[in-house]
Chains A and B, each alone.
Chain A
């Protein structure tokens, strides 16, 4: 027990690592502010294209969504960060993270939006169009508001996944929350800084995880 406290809950070490870890938290929040809006916008575009009536548009979009859902995000990130320099492009860690996350999260968000749009009945389209609304107006004012409401739990839960996923940015040496904590760990030979980082993730995400459970259950019953 003593050893466990010493190794995982060492308050003195946590206190020393705190400034470093808070700096990492700032980076994590910055990444989230970049990649979540990018993913939400890209996902919407992916979804609309993948529901297009034109096969030349629809097929590549569906293939793209499947492709980027099949590749683990870490593989994508390392491919972009370590592979592109061979082609003469040198993305900064932040740039590599933004590109990899854009491709990965837009496919996931895209799939969710698609399910949402499909859940809105054809009658809604027909009715809206017959009142004189144009196609894009129908989409924006009639279909999307209902679609988003139908898949809200999935959108929120995917956003939690994106926030958790930002931790892989540590692998390309972007000094976010986990990277800073791991730096502190390797200097102190003690796991308490990572426990501190885990506690910060918990404080940020636990309330949302609870909320998702509740939202999901409301829809299931």
Chain B
């Protein structure tokens, strides 16, 4: 019984909870802001790159592939540290949240480009030819025929990847972005109690469980139809 109350006191201490609730909520707001900015810029940039790739300009495509491969192969934390500590020395001073946002948006753009491109490639050539023969131009075919079908196919893999990358906002704690984990660890060291960490974990679960469940729903709803 005593062990149980000590456990509650350590991980679910009501006084500590009350004291640090505002700080954790501030962290939640920062996490949501950065995550939203990452998702918007990352997917749009990824789509733009995939569309650019359909023009099949050799040099441009080579650059896109190199960018995409590098950002898919490098751990995001490596990129965050590189940008945060390296850029100021070459005269680029960015606040830490901007570094986190930029790095995660580029990582998402790389994965999104690959997914959109696979979607575009999966549209049969006959669709292109039929659309062109009705008099639609290249861009018209892309915008009205190919992309609507391709994007539908990309919803499940893109959702899962987006969830994984927005969770990386927690990496911001390493460079002092005031997101949930950062607020939680700061509060934990001030209070000498593990309750804030528990609150942080709970905040993440509340934020992300709906997205994870939505991701699974989309996966069945928009399943890749294999022939």
Shortest CB-to-CB span from B11 to chain A, Å, is 7
| CA–CA, A221 and B226, complex, Å | 8
User: A171 on the interface (CB 8 Å rule)?
Assistant: yes
Question: Which of B75, B197, B200 is close to A167, meaning CB atoms less than 8 Å apart?
Answer: B75
B-contacting residues, A58-82, CB 8 Å: 66-67, 69-76, 78-79, 82
Shortest CB-to-CB span from B158 to chain A, Å, is 13
Given A3-B89, A209-B69, A209-B73, A75 contacting B170 (CB threshold 8 A):
yes
Given A70-B205, A82-B188, A86-B194, A202 contacting B90 (CB threshold 8 A):
no
Inter-chain contact B90/A86, CB cutoff 8 Å = no
Inter-chain contact A7/B90, CB cutoff 8 Å = yes
User: B201 on the interface (CB 8 Å rule)?
Assistant: yes
Inter-chain contact B75/A194, CB cutoff 8 Å = no
User: A164 on the interface (CB 8 Å rule)?
Assistant: yes
Q: Select the residue from B11, B73, B185 with max chain A CB neighbours within 10 A.
A: B73
Closest chain A residue to B170, Cβ basis: A72
| CA–CA, A201 and B74, complex, Å | 6
User: A125 on the interface (CB 8 Å rule)?
Assistant: no
Given A72-B167, A86-B11, A164 contacting B75 (CB threshold 8 A):
yes
In the bound complex, residues from chain B placing their C-beta under 8 Å from that of A202 are: 70, 73-74
User: B222 on the interface (CB 8 Å rule)?
Assistant: no
Bin the interface of chain B by size.
35 or more
Question: Which of A87, A181, A206 is close to B7, meaning CB atoms less than 8 Å apart?
Answer: A87
Kindly specify which of B54-62, B77-85, B94-102 makes contact with the partner chain.
Answer: B77-85
Bin the interface of chain A by size.
35 or more
Shortest CB-to-CB span from B35 to chain A, Å, is 11
SS of B interface (majority):
helix
| CA–CA, A70 and B202, complex, Å | 10
User: A210 on the interface (CB 8 Å rule)?
Assistant: yes
Kindly specify which of B17-25, B37-45, B140-148, B207-215 makes contact with the partner chain.
Answer: B207-215
Q: Select the residue from B171, B180, B188, B201 with max chain A CB neighbours within 10 A.
A: B201
| CA–CA, A110 and B90, complex, Å | 44
| CA–CA, A76 and B208, complex, Å | 14
Inter-chain contact A217/B194, CB cutoff 8 Å = no
A-contacting residues, B153-187, CB 8 Å: 163-164, 167-171, 173-174, 180-181, 185
User: A34 on the interface (CB 8 Å rule)?
Assistant: no
In the bound complex, residues from chain A placing their C-beta under 8 Å from that of B91 are: 3
Shortest CB-to-CB span from B210 to chain A, Å, is 9
User: A120 on the interface (CB 8 Å rule)?
Assistant: no
Shortest CB-to-CB span from B46 to chain A, Å, is 14
| CA–CA, A82 and B182, complex, Å | 13
Closest chain B residue to A212, Cβ basis: B72
Shortest CB-to-CB span from A146 to chain B, Å, is 14
Interface set of A (CB-CB < 8 Å, partner B):
3-4, 7-8, 66-67, 69-76, 78-79, 82-83, 86-87, 115, 160-161, 164-168, 170-171, 178, 181-182, 185, 189-191, 194-195, 197-198, 201-202, 205-206, 208-210, 213, 216-217, 219-221
A208-B73, A210-B69 given; name 8 further pairs at CB < 8 Å: A71-B201, A87-B11, A189-B89, A201-B74, A202-B73, A205-B73, A217-B118, A220-B118
